[in-house]
């Protein structure tokens, strides 16, 4: 590629990311609104201070925007989960608790965005399939972490890494939005304590 | 004193319930066939349901307000079925073994999975519709309650991890099953389903029952 095209591409990518983050900010500020997912694209853009013409330079439609938002927040979740998957022996319950709290904090910061993405996926087959692929990226990363842990003896060697990662990833994905996000501080503490126990028992407890 | 005759209202309500159940049973296979074809529930035409279910359109609207009302009735019916199928797990007791757990879960899932596309539509629709949201709350409440009872009984009997908070554990597990069945297993081939059943059994064994045996 000609070198003069490269700065243009990175500038375009940066503008696209800025737009994503501004829309995400609006979704977070309005997370408690009634039916935030039903909001029209023009309302979102107006609240984010983005001109329609600028938006349509970077995104085909609202579906593509939500797709990109989903990809961005899941990238953040994968980064945060890296702390969990890098835990070294001996892994303790407090280690796992800290990992779960970091995930919870990451979800809380993006709960409005996640909710909008999940709501849209519930109503659109294409978005639903792409959302599944995002969760599958998490499954793949968790699977790799389980395999690595099995090699070092940190994680039970008898586990089917892919199958176990599938169940745990979907448990956390759904439980964070359905259970933890609506919970008060006391209920959150109990939920995270239990999630810690379940994950620790599943992966790290002696066979 | 002669037995009292049912009131007119009670008799009419009973007739309506039976009528709704008949229509629901006639249309359920049509809904499932359309969902298997890849249609979203919202895209299934009333005409398709009435023609292939052999129910006059007027009869449908005498008994159901709309398609969402029908979906809610189907969800309630599947909840009744599910609690029956999953009872094989919940009724396991102190002599529980991993093999018995696997058998119970595998049988329950084999029966549930044909219903998974319909129930996925219910859970998805609940994000947009109040009546479906109420149905999902009822369903999840019932299922969490049953799992919680099983865990409490097991903790009292010494065969479930005594340190787990039973309500919270039941909640996490219920949502794990809901999501994995509706997002993964309904799309999977038989080999993948078997693999997930095996991994799910192993997971439940390690999280719920194995810790009690180590104590």
How confident is the model over B166-175, as pLDDT tens digits? 999 999 999 9
Which of A123, A125, A201 comes nearest B128 by C-beta?
A: A123
Q: B13: pLDDT confidence band, cut at 50, 70 and 90? A: confident
The CATH number assigned to the domain holding B6 equals: 1.10.10
Residue span of the structural domain in which A168 resides: 60-204
Owning domain of residue B139: 66-214
For residue A169, which of A205, A195, A207 has the smallest C-alpha distance? A195
Same domain, B56 and B70: no
Nearest by CB to B176, which of A38, A119, A170?
A170
Domain boundary (B11, B30, B64) is at B64
Contact A165, A142 (CB under 8 A): yes
pLDDT tens per residue, range A76-88? 999 999 999 999 8
Interface of A with B in 117-156 (CB under 8 A): 118-119, 122-123, 125, 132, 135, 156
> Residue range B167-184: average pLDDT?
96
In chain A, which residues have their Cβ closer than 8 Å to the Cβ of B172?
A: 171, 175, 179, 191, 194-195, 198
Q: Are B76 and B25 in contact (CB under 8 A)?
A: no
In a domain, A177, yes or no: yes
Q: Do B175 and A118 touch (CB under 8 A)?
A: no
Q: Please state the length of chain B.
A: 215
Task: Give how far Cα A186 sits from Cα of A97, A180, A182, A183, B32, Å.
Answer: 15, 11, 12, 8, 41
CA distance B11 to chain A (A): 39
Residue A17 is encoded by which pair of tokens?
Answer: 């990311």
Residues B52 and B75 in one domain: no
Tokens of B206: 């390690």
Nearest one of A175, A169, A174, A181 to A194, comparing CA atoms:
A175
How would residue B7 be classed by pLDDT, with cut points 50, 70 and 90?
Answer: low
Query: Both B105 and B155 in a single domain?
Result: yes
- The DSSP output letter for A60 is S
Q: What is the pLDDT of residue B6?
A: 55
The pLDDT, as a whole number, for residue A189 is 98
Contacts of B211 (CB under 8 A, 6+ apart): A201, A205, B161, B163
| Of B64, B80, B106, the domain-final residue | B64
Count of A-B CB contacts under 8 Å: 114
Question: Which CATH number goes with the domain that contains A115?
Answer: 1.10.357.10
Instruction: Please indicate, yes or no, if residue A129 is contained in any of the structural domains.
Output: yes
- Whole-angstrom distance, CA of residue B57 vs CA of residue B70: 13
- How many structural domains compose chain A? 1
Domain-located, residue A35? no
Which residue among A38, A179, A201 places its CB closest to the CB of B175?
A179
Q: Inter-chain contact A201–B195, Cβ cutoff 8 Å?
A: no
B26 shares its domain with B74: no
Q: Does B171 touch chain A (CB under 8 A)?
A: yes
CA B81, CA B119: separation in Å to the nearest integer? 12
- In whole angstroms, what is the distance from residue A197 CA to residue A187 CA? 15
Residue in the structure block whose two tokens are 């979203």: B40
Q: Which of A97-111, B31-45, B115-129 has the highest mean pLDDT?
A: A97-111
Identify whether A20 is part of a domain.
no
Could you give the CA distance from residue B214 to residue A36 in angstroms, rounded to a whole number? Answer: 48
Q: Do B127 and A122 touch (CB under 8 A)?
A: yes
Is A53 within the bounds of a domain? no
User: Does residue B114 share a domain with residue B34?
Assistant: no
pLDDT, mean of residues A72-99: 95
In chain A, the N- to C-terminal Cα span, in Å, equals 54
Contacts of A198 in chain B (CB under 8 A): 164, 169, 172-173, 207
- Nearest CB partner across the interface for A198, out of B198, B207, B214: B207
Residue A50 contacts B, CB cutoff 8 Å: no
Taking an 8 Å cut-off on Cβ atoms, the answer to whether A174 and B165 are in contact is: no
Residue A81 lies in a domain: yes
Distance of residue A40 Cα from the nearest chain B Cα, in angstroms = 15
Interface probe, candidates A139, A194, A203, chain B, greatest B C-beta count within 10 A? A194
First to last CA, chain B: 63
B71 neighbors B132 (Cβ within 8 angstroms): yes
CATH number assigned to the domain comprising residue B136: 1.10.357.10
Based on the fold, state whether residues B36 and B125 are members of the same structural domain: no
Q: Which of B20, B46, B64 is the last residue of a domain?
A: B64
Give me the mean pLDDT over the A103-112 stretch. 95
Together in a domain, B22 and B75: no
B162: helix, strand or coil:
coil
Identify whether A16 is part of a domain: no
Cα separation, A67 vs A112, whole angstroms: 15
Q: Does residue A48 lie within any of the structural domains?
A: no
Closest partner residue to A190 (CB to CB) among B38, B168, B210 is: B168
> Based on the domain organization, do B132 and B105 belong to the same domain?
yes
Cα nearest neighbour of A117 on chain B: B127
User: What percent of chain A is predicted at pLDDT more than 90?
Assistant: 80
Q: Is the ipTM of this complex over 0.90?
A: yes
For chain B, the domain total comes to 2
**Partner-chain residue, chosen from A123, A159, A166, that has the shortest CB–CB distance to B180:** A166
**Residues B97, B116: one domain?**
yes
Which candidate in A167, A190, A191, A193 is best for mutational testing of the B interface (most B CBs within 10 A)? Answer: A167
Residues of A with Cβ-Cβ distance to B171 under 8 angstroms:
175, 179, 191
């Amino acid at each position: 590629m000609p070198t003069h095209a490269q700065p243009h591409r990175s500038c375009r990518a940066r503008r696209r990311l800025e737009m994503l983050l501004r829309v995400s900010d609006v979704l977070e500020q309005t997370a408690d609104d009634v039916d935030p997912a039903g909001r029209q694209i023009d309302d979102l853009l107006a609240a984010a201070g983005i001109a329609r013409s600028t938006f349509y330079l970077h995104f085909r439609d609202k579906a593509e925007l939500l797709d990109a938002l989903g990809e961005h927040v899941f990238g953040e979740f994968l980064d945060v989960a890296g702390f969990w998957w890098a835990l070294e022996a001996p892994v303790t319950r407090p280690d796992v608790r800290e990992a779960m709290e970091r995930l919870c904090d990451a979800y809380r910061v993006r709960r409005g965005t996640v909710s909008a993405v999940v709501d849209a996926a519930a109503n659109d087959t294409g978005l639903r399939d792409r959302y599944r692929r995002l969760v599958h990226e998490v499954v793949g990363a968790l699977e790799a972490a389980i395999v690595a842990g099995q090699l070092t003896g940190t994680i039970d060697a008898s586990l089917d890494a892919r199958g176990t990662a599938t169940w745990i990833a979907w448990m956390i994905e759904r439980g964070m939005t359905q259970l933890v996000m609506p919970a008060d501080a006391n209920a959150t503490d109990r939920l995270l304590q239990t999630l810690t126990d379940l994950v620790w028992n599943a992966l790290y407890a002696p066979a | 004193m002669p037995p009292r005759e049912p009131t007119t209202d009670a008799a009419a309500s009973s007739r309506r319930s039976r009528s709704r159940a008949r229509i629901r049973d006639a249309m359920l296979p049509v809904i499932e066939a359309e969902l298997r074809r890849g249609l979203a529930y919202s895209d299934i035409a009333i005409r398709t349901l009435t023609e292939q279910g052999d129910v006059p359109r007027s009869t449908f609207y005498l008994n159901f307000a709309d398609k969402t009302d029908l979906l809610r009735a189907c969800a309630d019916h599947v909840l009744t079925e599910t609690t029956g199928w999953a009872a094989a797990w919940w009724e396991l007791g102190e002599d529980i073994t991993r093999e018995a757990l696997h058998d119970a879960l595998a049988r329950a899932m084999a029966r549930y999975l044909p219903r998974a596309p319909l129930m996925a539509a219910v859970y998805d629709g609940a994000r947009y519709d109040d009546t479906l949201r109420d149905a999902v709350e009822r369903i999840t409440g019932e299922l969490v309650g049953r799992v919680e009872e099983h865990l409490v009984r097991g903790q009292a009997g010494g065969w479930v991890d005594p340190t787990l908070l039973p309500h919270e554990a039941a909640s996490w597990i219920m949502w794990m099953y809901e999501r994995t069945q509706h997002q993964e297993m309904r799309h999977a081939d038989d080999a993948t389903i078997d693999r997930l059943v095996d991994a799910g059994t192993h997971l439940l064994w390690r999280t719920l029952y194995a810790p009690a045996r180590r104590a």
